[in-house]
A and B are shown apart, each in its own frame.
Chain A
Amino acid sequence: MSSLEVRNATIAYGRSVAVTDVSLTVPAGASLGIVGESGSGKTTIAAALVGMLPLVTGEILLDGAVLGATRTKAQRRAIQLVQQDPYSSLNPRMTVRQMLRELLLAHSIVPRSQVAARCAQLMAMVSLDPGSLDAFPHQFSGGQRQRIAIARALAVEPSVLVADEPTSALDVSVQATVIELLARLKQELSLTLVFISHDLAVVNAVCDTVAVVKSGALVEVAPREQFFRAPQSPYSRALLEAVPRLPTR
């Protein structure tokens, strides 16, 4: 289990600043939801957390230790990303076994002799049939692909999982099973979770703290219960009020 902290982070793409002065704290084993509309900077924050984007100013701390501009292999391993679209995040020309094998060997997770067994284990972990390890991504459904993306992130045994809209491309019934899976894995593997979504209902189901971003700045951070029942900022309230709800009799 690891704690994650972002201190006064400003993140930019070249000269255009996407996120300004954001500070967040995720205690070990907690789950933080980052919500906001398109262009609010959610995905930018996710990219910075996993080290895909450098910070202009500020710092990111893992277990209290500042992550430098160039992360060590162990630090890169520790924070893993599950991307939004399982149709584009998986290499179409690699079988699931090849994908997992490459990671397991590159990070020396298990000795060569145990790679096959470990691949099967990872598949079972995300409730997929280990018998389909030699299939290509296009042979799986959307929900199955997202499970593969999760297995791939977990292959290197991270302590923090950053999930960027992991259920947005999925049907509602499939979405429910992927959320269940994430909740179970978080428990079983003692993961710290950062969950990015525009879908407030999904965040409510997964996270214990909610952070709202708008135009690259933090608007509100609150415990789940408080956020969903009594949001403090007018923007959070507007977001919650805009969510279409099912009629009740």
Chain B
Amino acid sequence: MMATDQAIRVRDLVLSARVPVVNGISFDVARGEAVGIVGESGSGKSLTLRSIISLLPTGVTQTAGSITVQGRVGMVFQDPLTALDPLMPVGRQVAAASRFARGTGRKAARARALELFEQVRLPDPVAKLGAYPHQLSGGQRQRVVIALALATDPEILLCDEPTTALDVTVQKQVLELLGQLREKLGLSMVFVSHDLAVVSAVCTRLIVMRDGQIVETGDTLAVLTAPQHPYTQKLLGAVLALPVLGTPAPIPPSPGNGAV
């Protein structure tokens, strides 16, 4: 039995593609908690996430362990260009997901799509309903993907590198949006990324994976400022630091002085 304050419980999970690719991992996600899974390519972080919604790629199967989920799940994919149907207006895609989840009519679903577009703060949401993916910018497309995930009224939001394909300024906006949505809707969240700084912006707890195993887990701040496992230390050591940005000069530059 699972405690009512838990959203996800994973026990001794083994995922195999001939050989084990995720090897006996266990973790919990509490209701309302945001957990980050970090690791490099091939660590098994994305497969772990996908196994939660039984969306494993062909050839990979769960061979042992259990996954228990309490609540509806939505997923935000990494690449909005492949997550969206290029031949269907984005409003219809979101409405279709909403109809499927709520069993409502077309009109109500369209209204819901508009509501979701407003919620993810797409500019000019009414016009965007009829837009095709290629007519949107990368950031706008990712907002549509988030709207699509929210269309099923999820209690748990799974995010697979949701900002990796985005520019840094857009990434910041999308991370802020995800944080606000989580708070407003009381979502539990599992956030997979290779970028420690991105994960630390969203998650309260971290799971560090390597070669299909969990090497370290703990409070985000603790893991990032006092890592225990040598691999976590190595990973953190490889992150390139930036100098501290000074505060802007008190006197703004005169016109024509700002650009070189």
* Residues of chain A whose beta carbon lies under 8 Å from any beta carbon of chain B: 37-38, 142, 171-176, 179, 198-202, 204-205, 218-222, 225, 228-234, 237-249
Contacts and interface: CB of A to CB of B under 8 A. Distances in A.
Nearest to B257: A232
Contacts of B248: 237
Contacts of A205: 240
Contact of B245 (A201, A218, A232, A240): A240
A248 B195 CA distance: 16
Nearest to A224: B243
Nearest to B38: A172
A8 to B, nearest CB: 14
A230 B246 contact: yes
A243 B170 CA distance: 10
Nearest to A177: B238
Contact of A171 (B40, B236, B244): B40
Contacts of B249: 230
Interface of B: 40-41, 138, 167-172, 175, 194-198, 200-201, 220-221, 224-226, 234-236, 238-246, 248-249, 253, 257-260
Contacts of B171: 242, 244
A175 B245 contact: no
A239 B260 contact: no
A205 B241 CA distance: 9
A38 B167 CA distance: 7
B196 to A, nearest CB: 6
B260 A222 contact: yes
A220 B172 contact: no
Nearest to A227: B243
A37 B258 CA distance: 19
Contact of B40 (A173, A231, A233, A248): A173
Contacts of A233: 258-259
Contact of A239 (B40, B168, B239): B168
Given A237-B248, A244-B198, A246-B197, A173 B234 contact: yes
Contacts of A249: 221, 225-226
B235 A173 contact: yes
B166 to A, nearest CB: 9
A225 B224 CA distance: 26
Contacts of B196: 172, 246
A49 to B, nearest CB: 19
Nearest to B260: A221
22 contacts: A37-B169, A37-B170, A38-B167, A172-B195, A179-B240, A198-B168, A199-B240, A202-B240, A225-B243, A228-B245, A232-B257, A234-B258, A242-B171, A243-B168, A243-B242, A244-B198, A246-B224, A246-B236, A246-B241, A247-B220, A248-B225, A249-B226
Contacts of A219: 259
Contacts of A245: 197, 242
A220 B257 CA distance: 10
A204 B235 contact: no
B200 A246 contact: yes
Contacts of B200: 244, 246-247
